[in-house]
A = this chain, B = another copy of it.
Amino acid sequence: MFKKIIIVEDFDSIGLGISAVIQNRIGANEIVTSQYCDDAYLKIKRAIQDSIPFDLLITDLSFEKDHREAKIKGGKELVEKLRQQGISIPIVVYSIEDRRVVIKELLEIQKVGAYVLKGRNGLKNLEQAILTLTNGEVFLSPELENSSEKKELFELEDFDISLLSNLAKGFSQNEISKDFKLKGMSPSSLSSIEKRINRLKEEFEAKNAIQLVATAKDLGLI
């Protein structure tokens, strides 16, 4: 049973909802919440140093930017940083992110114990996830379990998202290429940028980059 739990979630409404469920249904006796990944990281490290470590981390993936400058920008980075430091705390990811690539990496490489999709029954699944985790088993949201093959037709990588948002910001393909080169990303050549945009255009049946970005907006991808 998990006694000491830390929750990392930027939206206060969701954080409060999670807290309530944990308190009423799981029976932890110490719940700490944090709206910033940086804070959460420090708290986790500190707790280990003080020999009163957390038993469980529940974290969101995406965090809104605000006035505070953030070193750790999202839940994925937080998890990666913890694992790099050899911290093997059990982790539940609670996010709206449904792309298999992302989820797969978290489960298989970062050894996250549970992946719960936010949604109508997100909290029910979260509760189930924690119980499953108590038995040392891995939990995956039911929405993801069954339809694993259908949706896998086409999934956007972070690269594609980055590409699309750069386009939406008005950068030319050349500028994007140079920017990617600066950041050491791969691929970064103008030709590859073109190719990738082309692939996306085919995928979304867009005649040109304008329509592509427009449909990406419609689908909420960017």
Contacts and interface: CB of A to CB of B under 8 A. Distances in A.
Interface of A: 10-18, 20-21, 35, 64, 66, 94, 118-124, 126, 167-172, 206-211, 213-214, 217-218
B169 A211 contact: yes
How often does this chain occur in the complex, in copies? 2
Top 4 nearest A-B pairs (CB, nearest first) are A170-B211, A170-B207, A13-B17, A16-B17
12 contacts: A12-B124, A13-B94, A16-B20, A17-B17, A17-B20, A168-B214, A170-B210, A170-B214, A172-B207, A172-B208, A217-B217, A217-B218
Given A170-B206, A211-B169, A12 B16 contact: no
Contacts of A211: 168-170
B208 A170 contact: yes
Contact of A123 (B16, B172, B214, B218): B16
Contacts of A167: 210, 214
B118 A11 contact: yes
A11 B214 contact: no
A120 B21 contact: no
A55 to B, nearest CB: 21
A120 B66 contact: yes
B13 A118 contact: yes
Contacts of A17: 12-17, 20
A158 B169 CA distance: 25
A122 B206 contact: no
A11 B21 CA distance: 14
Given A167-B214, A170-B211, 11 more contacts: A10-B119, A11-B122, A13-B14, A14-B14, A16-B16, A17-B17, A169-B214, A170-B207, A170-B208, A170-B214, A217-B218
